[in-house]
Structure 1
Amino acid sequence: MVLAIVDDLMFVSKIKAAASSLGVGLTVARSLDDALDKMRQSAPSLVILDLNGTRTDPLATVAAMKRDHALSTIPTIGFVSHVRTDVINAARDSGVDEILARSAFTERLAEILQRDDGSRS
């Protein structure tokens, strides 16, 4: 299962459509608390973060994950507007594993969702 922490409805739609067509389990969270609850209920194989998200507080989410031993090893990938170098640098500093421009994320979405077959034991 992949967890997407995204508040941009266009990206939620893209991710849901791609996951559905690939048969990949997907859960969407729209807040820090919701995301942490979902991760603790069932650890995802990957967490996707909209680094431009204002309501989801992606950097606080990653910080909380890194502090929690059970969540700290879950891979993270974030997408961001390529001109937001401040956000890109902050995401690197907070420990986001992979950071992509929004266009690159969209281009590689199928490959990203298929990593580890979207499942985690």
Structure 2
Amino acid sequence: MSYEVDYIPWLERQKERLTFKYNKIKSERDTLIDDIAVLKVNISRLERENEKLRNESIKNYKLWEESEEQERYFVKEFNKYHNLYTTLTNHIRDMKFASPYSYNYIHLVNFIKELERADDER
């Protein structure tokens, strides 16, 4: 009979210990379930933000490509007009040497020099 008397308190202690562990595991599980719900909401929000950023990135890339095309176009146009300007100024200077006493050519050469001096000062 002594065996039964000692056994019952031991079983009660085991029951209390197991109940405590069960409650602890259950509360951890509930916390993890809540964490999963929060993480799912965060994932959804981040996916939406990622999609917005991806669309903005595509838009910005297209704008960059357009600006690159415009830059190439303007560089080409600048070079074209720069070459025309150089040709014209060289022609005017050559005409000054061909007709050194012509007031028109002297005036144009001086005007070109003023333009180039103002350009160099910038």
Into which bin does the TM-score normalised by the smaller protein fall? under 0.3
TM-score (norm 1): 0.19
Which has more helix, going by share of residues?
2
Task: Point out the structure with max Rg over C-alpha.
Answer: 2
TM-score (norm 2): 0.19
Which has more strand, going by share of residues?
1
- Which is bigger in relative contact order (C-alpha 8 A, separation at least 6)? 1
